[in-house]
Amino acid sequence: MPAPSPHIGAQYGEIAKTVIMGGDPLRAKFMAESYLENPVLVNEVRGMLGYTGTYHGKRLSIMGHGMGMPSIGIYTYELYNFYDVDTIIRVGSAGSYSYDLHLGDLVLAQGACTDSNYGAQFNLPGTFAPIADFSLLRKAADACENLGVNYKVGNILSSDVFYPDTPTTEQWRKMKVLAVEMEAAALYMNAARAGKKAIVICTISDHLLTGEETTPEERRTTFTNMMEVALSLID
Q: How many Cβ atoms are within 10 Å of 13's Cβ, its own excluded?
A: 11
Cα separation, 205 vs 188, in Å, equals: 22
**Could you say which DSSP state residue 233 is in?**
T
| Residue 23 · residue 92 · CB < 8 Å | yes
Identified catalytic residue from 24, 165, 206, 235? 206
Is 206 catalytic? The answer is yes
Cα separation, 16 vs 23, in Å, equals: 19
**Cα→Cα distances 146→54, 72, 137, 139, 149, Å:** 23, 30, 14, 10, 8
* Strand 18-22 with 58-64, pairing: parallel
Catalytic residue ranges: 206
